[in-house]
Amino acid sequence: MVEALYTLHREPLRRYCAALCKSDATAEDLLQEVFVRALCHEDALAPLDEKQRRAWLYKTARNLFFDHVRHSAMARDKQAMLAGAGREETGLETLEAGLLLACLPYDLRVLMQQRYLEGYRATELAELYGLPPSTIRGKLRQARLLLQQALREKP
């Protein structure tokens, strides 16, 4: 069954993954992981009709992409903190900024980094996460308010 799914959905799913991550290599990795998971969940996929199986594949690809984004953001956080540590003043400022961001819940911290450090627009983030742009803007506002509160409480 998974072999038939692979034959039928491989190319459209690869294009979908490539559109999400803007990298052919990462898209291939995501695609491979989607079908590995399909093999692992073959029993759950068996009773589904073709449309439901297709939806499962695409949702799995989307979730794997979000996992990839989260993992990449955490790795960049660590690299930025390590890279900034060698410069006295700048390293201290980077550390303070990192500590301030660390007080945010994970989802808000990632949104702030993507919006203000990586330059994504709210509409792009909304598309990426499958949320309305107003929800993204609301979450960013919530994060800014939490940061302002943390700055006021800082001695």
pLDDT for residue 76 is more than 70: no
What number of other Cβ atoms are within 10 A of residue 36's Cβ? 11
Q: What angle do CA 79, 85, 86 make, to 5 degrees?
A: 115
Question: What is the per-residue pLDDT for 1?
Answer: 87
Q: Mapping DSSP to helix (H, G, I), strand (E, B) and coil, where does residue 86 land?
A: coil
Question: What is the per-residue pLDDT for 151?
Answer: 80
Q: Which long-range contacts (CB under 8 A, 24 or more apart) does 139-144 make?
A: 139/107, 139/108, 139/111, 140/108, 140/111, 140/112, 140/115, 142/108, 143/104, 143/108, 143/109, 143/111, 143/112, 144/112
**Residues 45-72, mean pLDDT to the nearest whole number:** 89
Q: Which two tokens stand for residue 115?
A: 């919006």
Q: Is the pTM of this model over 0.95?
A: no
Residue 89 identity (one-letter amino acid)? E
Cα separation of 16 and 27, whole Å? 8
Question: What is the per-residue pLDDT for 95?
Answer: 56
pLDDT for residue 13 is more than 80: yes
Question: What is the per-residue pLDDT for 34?
Answer: 93
- pLDDT single digits (tens) 17-30: 999 888 889 899 99
Domains with residue ranges and CATH for the chain: 1-76 (1.10.1740), 104-155 (1.10.10.10)
pLDDT for residue 35 is more than 70: yes
- Give the DSSP letter string of 7-27: HHHHHHHHHHHHHHHS-HHHH
Question: What is the per-residue pLDDT for 116?
Answer: 80
How does residue 47 score in pLDDT terms, banded at 50, 70 and 90? very high
**Residues 58-81, mean pLDDT to the nearest whole number:** 75
Q: What angle do CA 64, 70, 73 make, to 5 degrees?
A: 140
Nearest to 46 by CA among 4, 80, 101: 4
pLDDT for residue 61 is more than 70: yes
